Structure 1
């Protein structure tokens, strides 16, 4: 009988398997860019990117080259286990989510663990989004058309921020127009779910790596706190319409599905799409993955429908 690890490998999409097989052959420097998109050329750009601060937090703002008046906005939080990731790393992905649309995107360079453990990232996220919603970001934004989003740890930050912002809502109408959660971490209290057990060794993001990330970020805090584990919040009602995207062969798949189902059961509008055979972080592999490009098109269409 074949070993379980061999069965897992057979589940992987060819693009994902190619990525996993190639990484060990590259230098550390080459691994950073392998599979990613080429930098957006001036000829292809539909937005101009500028680095600045909002509420004292460094951000990169993508402003449409066309469009007038107050525009809708996406505030985005990158992944990296709360301890890595940069604005440059996520640059092509963020641009791809709003390319061709009259939407301002704000990519947030929140503070990272272990130097800045929980709740530093949440505090930075809340400060930036609050400044946007309060109309004090210095940008021409329609505050009634603001969405937030993120991938992995950034998806966790987005989900937590959306929950925190409910107190600003008028009645049951969410203050945010939409949220985009891309393979988000939703429960750091356990690494023993079925997807951790099945995909925790041979599918890019490992169980051991996630446990290190969680340990650095949680820093001894109660891991059942909903600000760490948004899935464990006692009330998930009155949250913004949500788009969820994730890969089947991801250690986080179980908790991602659980969060989507919990949002639905709480009466929220949810679109949840699983990409078969895909690994964690696949959406950033636009240079080699057709699924990455398809996921971005899906999210872009959801944002256009929600904001434009």
Structure 2
């Protein structure tokens, strides 16, 4: 990760705790992020949690491209179908930056989109997956796992595990190198990526990286960052609870490590022996503290974990690159983490 001054908006810094404290001025926000939040407040559109789930899905898909970077041209994009354990066909979108073959296989990133297990799709995260594919010189397999409320926990986890096993089994046929597979995801997708890292270890696989972008990791949203940032920073406490109401089959599922790898059931997932991690957290994100804590959990178990702090950013900032230029630094850092894990120069 590139070195940066702690005063550079949006840039990662080494501070152990860059969170906004009570009474800290909003000047710590990236200026473009502050402007964006003001525009959203002025628009007075109903938040996603005020919509019914179907309308929320439609609204998210329509709004996703507005603030995101322009999609990069990619050599090859293909929609695939992966069999699930219950016979369902899981959709997936494969990106390739160039031709691959048995003789010259490409690394592969298995990617899970965010959206609170309720909204989002490979289409909503298409620009990000294109960027990662082209700049990290890897295939990206973006998974269209099933969403709530039609499909509740643990269906999304089962879909993620089934695609994980399939990706390793079919890597050669795809032109991917099974020795250079990484896992990644943002927000809820980051939760699925953490679970896949544990499942990969169980299956005897060795992913080279888990790239976790503002992941959800805790059973209950009671950290200091959740309390301090409950409203006003795009992702609100009410929104988080609405998402989980669509996803969870019962409240006790919060204690399942596949939902809460940090502390589900008291101790969370057994992460010893899991693959190294790169974890991005935003200073003005309610999920900030659980991302930091998960990095600490991995390190305590002997798993290398690099924590990238972006103090001036908010949740979902990886998809705000059209409006917030400083997001480019985070994209650069994610690409560097992938290339380093894949062994690229």
TM-score under structure 2 normalisation? 0.80
Partner residue in 2 for 1:147: 182
Is 1:35 aligned with 2:67? yes
Partner residue in 1 for 2:239: 209
What SS does structure 2 have at the residue aligned with 1:61?
strand
Q: Within 5 Å, which residues of 2 pair with 1:228-239?
A: 228-232=259-263, 233=268, 235-239=270-274
- For 1:39 and 1:226, how far apart are their aligned partners in 2? 35
Partner residue in 2 for 1:132: 167
Partner residue in 2 for 1:52: 80
Find 2:31's aligned residue among 14, 21, 33: 14
Find 1:91's aligned residue among 121, 126, 133: 126
TM-score under structure 1 normalisation? 0.90
What SS does structure 2 have at the residue aligned with 1:276?
strand
User: Is this contact kept in 1: 2:279–2:307, CA < 8 A?
Assistant: yes
Q: Within 5 Å, which residues of 2 pair with 1:1-308?
A: 7=24, 9-25=26-42, 31-40=63-72, 45-55=73-83, 56-68=89-101, 69-135=104-170, 138-169=173-204, 175-187=206-218, 189-220=219-250, 221-232=252-263, 233=268, 235-307=270-342, 308=344
Shifted more, 105-114 versus 64-73: the winner is: 64-73
User: Is this contact kept in 1: 2:100–2:175, CA < 8 A?
Assistant: no
- For 1:181 and 1:240, how far apart are their aligned partners in 2? 12
C-alpha spacing 1:158/1:126, structure 2 compared with 1 (3 Å): same
User: Is this contact kept in 1: 2:171–2:178, CA < 8 A?
Assistant: no
Aligned pair count reads 296
What SS does structure 2 have at the residue aligned with 1:84?
coil
User: Is this contact kept in 1: 2:75–2:96, CA < 8 A?
Assistant: yes
What SS does structure 2 have at the residue aligned with 1:92?
helix
Q: CA deviation at 1:24?
A: 4.2
Partner residue in 1 for 2:14: none
- For 1:47 and 1:190, how far apart are their aligned partners in 2? 42
State the Cα deviation string for residues 67-123 of structure 1 (Å, max 9, x = none): 542221001000000000021110001111222443110000100001001111111
- Alpha-carbon RMSD: 2.1
- For 2:147 and 2:98, how far apart are their aligned partners in 1? 32
User: Is this contact kept in 2: 1:5–1:202, CA < 8 A?
Assistant: no
What SS does structure 1 have at the residue aligned with 2:284?
coil
User: Is this contact kept in 1: 2:75–2:98, CA < 8 A?
Assistant: yes
- For 1:239 and 1:101, how far apart are their aligned partners in 2? 22
User: Is this contact kept in 2: 1:19–1:35, CA < 8 A?
Assistant: no
Shifted more, 62-71 versus 287-296: the winner is: 62-71
State the Cα deviation string for residues 151-188 of structure 1 (Å, max 9, x = none): 0000001001111221122xxxx62111100000001x
C-alpha spacing 1:19/1:303, structure 2 compared with 1 (3 Å): same
What SS does structure 1 have at the residue aligned with 2:26?
helix
- For 1:291 and 1:130, how far apart are their aligned partners in 2? 36
User: Is this contact kept in 2: 1:248–1:275, CA < 8 A?
Assistant: yes
